[in-house]
Structure 1
């Protein structure tokens, strides 16, 4: 009797191992549903996040929110659920490396360390995209990175690392070298210059640049919306817009859309006031719907 049991157990074990190997090869992460997730981004670090799904049947297009400066936790970007989820988009918000429930050491970005920090955080986002593309409720053909402020340096670099990213939205940042926004704020807050005066002075900036996003911008080929507030006193919106428009004019394969919201500042969506600006929300959703629409025919 035992001579037959052992081979059968061995056969079953081998079959199970093969099935697991196939599942891993297919990239089946086992992710499903809404709620809390802990995703490995490398051999030593895990990123904690929350998936928020819309009502109705999936699979859903996904927006991964990449935060700017601040405490680095998912709560910073959770209010954007009010922008995307009612429009039928899933939203994933996460704790940046070393913050909240994510592992690792927190990293405060400076001009001097900006190259290393941005590259590291971009790799984390790229790894998140790789895992979330296999979430059972997500349409892997429609994944967007949505970046705010400082996240505008991180998200385009992450998008350049991953073919799974199909669209990109950058809000109030991302086109100037890291050193320029600090100098811009100094000119406005300390020297009391107007936005136009500070923008003109930036042309003569000769300080440290830190990370420069221009090489990434010149290589981006996915649809990208650049959204700025014309009255932004924290990021040089007019300088950024000029860089993007010049880059777009020099390329034939880019797909950039620039929207400059008159009267709006760095809090473009109105989150600090606790009420989303419906006009800005409409700009974003209308653009994203069109960017992710199936090709005709």
Structure 2
């Protein structure tokens, strides 16, 4: 999510912070194979560790699949995030082997050599906590553009599982990745307080510059999902050369919930008065959440009593509205209190974005259910018209994460990979601050050179 799914849903996603019992030994064996591998053709296959101790492969053009070890040291698995087998078979060998053999991935067949990145581990001070970070430089002398990776809402180690840390250096862009407070090797308590997280990100930016020295050129942030709120705020606390945001919103967390509810109802076939009433309801649930359950409680109980019998009412989901409506308030409130991580419900991005005068790339998913992006696209276009150097890339028909999917008759989506062009765009843009070539199906809207009169 871009924001936070509290109570019941958070209990599910929070489980990703650890591994299943018995998975540790398998994870140790799999972890040594994590890395990027270059074939003789120049194509790159990235292999990353998953929290359950298995592996996932990714290509620069967005294909992906899972990997589990079979007999004879051959790894294979399923296509995308589906349960359908993929023909990929990868011979990884032992932990000391830097060469692998790739079979069954179109245009990526044959031997591949591990890319020899330059990696430096570091520890540094955030806001009252000690954070663990890693600088990864591409092969060569540089200087390279540098992207500091700013997390989404995940509660697991970015050092262990963030794949951008390798996909960018594989294309000539240095990366700096760190475990946010309360995760992985960093100290402190996990939080979704955007202001604290932004201060930590700004500290990471300064540490990345210090460690990299003259081996890098321009440096900036890459924030995904919730990082689309945190990274612009961090940019106001530091002096980056650029900012990249992927599938983040120019609206705040309450608007995200509102847009999710609307999208959910539209997909279920509702319109007109139902959408207007739903907007009234999300205004109420937003007041309840933002006030810490001190405002809007009577209105909440009133709309529940009036509309509980309506079919559309029981379809409502959203970030928090659905659970708030369909759970007894005392139970919901107790569950939320037990899992409260200090989410900055009051945060409004537009005043922050208006403070920035650096090149910005904003990448949006046209079919995003988790962070519906139509309003964000309009708000960013408004900033463009005011003269801000914001480039917008809109990938139609993809979901959160700029991910491709298939959808069944019930509307359930299965992620199959990433949009072709997305990973190339993230690597190309910091070198030119503009669009010189197409990126898959993306609709590209470069910034205006002069503000409208």
TM range (shorter): 0.7 to 0.9
Q: Please say if residues 233 and 265 of structure 1, whose CA atoms lie closer than 8 Å, have aligned partners that are also in contact.
A: yes
2: CA distance, partners of 1:99 / 1:81: 17
Shift of 1:86: 1.7
Q: Please say if residues 66 and 146 of structure 1, whose CA atoms lie closer than 8 Å, have aligned partners that are also in contact.
A: yes
Shift of 1:230: 0.4
Q: Please say if residues 202 and 238 of structure 2, whose CA atoms lie closer than 8 Å, have aligned partners that are also in contact.
A: yes
Do structure 1's residue 240 and structure 2's residue 376 form an aligned pair?
yes
Please, which runs of 5 or more residues in structure 1 have no aligned partner? 1-32, 110-116, 293-297
Equivalent position to 2:150, from 62, 66, 79: 66
Q: 1:270 to 1:287 in 2, by over 3 A?
A: same
| Helix, strand or coil at the partner of 2:145 | strand
Per the normalisation by structure 2, the TM-score is 0.49
Do structure 1's residue 193 and structure 2's residue 267 form an aligned pair?
yes
Q: Which residue of 2 is the match for residue 230 of structure 1?
A: 366
Shift of 1:35: 3.4
Q: 1:76 to 1:169 in 2, by over 3 A?
A: farther
Shift of 1:60: 2.6
Do structure 1's residue 154 and structure 2's residue 230 form an aligned pair?
yes
Q: Which residue of 2 is the match for residue 177 of structure 1?
A: 252
Q: 1:196 to 1:257 in 2, by over 3 A?
A: farther
Q: 1:64 to 1:136 in 2, by over 3 A?
A: closer
Do structure 1's residue 280 and structure 2's residue 422 form an aligned pair?
yes
1: CA distance, partners of 2:421 / 2:250: 24
Do structure 1's residue 263 and structure 2's residue 397 form an aligned pair?
yes
Shift of 1:131: 1.9
1: CA distance, partners of 2:161 / 2:384: 29
1: CA distance, partners of 2:250 / 2:269: 17
| Helix, strand or coil at the partner of 1:168 | strand
| Helix, strand or coil at the partner of 1:145 | strand
Shift of 1:260: 0.7
Per the normalisation by structure 1, the TM-score is 0.73
| Helix, strand or coil at the partner of 1:134 | helix
1:66-118: CA deviation from partner (whole Å, max 9, x where unpaired) = 111122421586211343112211111111111111111111x3xxxxxxx11
| Helix, strand or coil at the partner of 1:51 | strand
2: CA distance, partners of 1:196 / 1:247: 32
Q: 1:124 to 1:173 in 2, by over 3 A?
A: same
Do structure 1's residue 49 and structure 2's residue 191 form an aligned pair?
no
Q: 1:196 to 1:269 in 2, by over 3 A?
A: farther
Structure whose residues are more often helix by fraction = 1
Do structure 1's residue 166 and structure 2's residue 241 form an aligned pair?
yes
Do structure 1's residue 85 and structure 2's residue 161 form an aligned pair?
no
Q: Please say if residues 65 and 77 of structure 1, whose CA atoms lie closer than 8 Å, have aligned partners that are also in contact.
A: no
1:143-166: CA deviation from partner (whole Å, max 9, x where unpaired) = 120010111000001111111x11
Q: Please say if residues 67 and 76 of structure 1, whose CA atoms lie closer than 8 Å, have aligned partners that are also in contact.
A: no
The alignment of Structure 1 onto Structure 2 pairs a total of residues equal to 247
What is the Cα-based RMSD across aligned positions, in Å? 3.0
2: CA distance, partners of 1:278 / 1:240: 22
Q: Please say if residues 182 and 188 of structure 2, whose CA atoms lie closer than 8 Å, have aligned partners that are also in contact.
A: yes
Shift of 1:276: 4.8
Please, which runs of 5 or more residues in structure 2 have no aligned partner? 1-117, 288-344, 406-413, 435-453
Q: Please say if residues 61 and 139 of structure 1, whose CA atoms lie closer than 8 Å, have aligned partners that are also in contact.
A: no
Q: 1:130 to 1:123 in 2, by over 3 A?
A: same
Q: Please say if residues 141 and 166 of structure 1, whose CA atoms lie closer than 8 Å, have aligned partners that are also in contact.
A: no
Structure whose residues are more often strand by fraction = 2
Q: 1:58 to 1:129 in 2, by over 3 A?
A: same
2: CA distance, partners of 1:211 / 1:195: 31
Q: Which residue of 1 is the match for residue 199 of structure 2?
A: 123
1: CA distance, partners of 2:162 / 2:359: 24
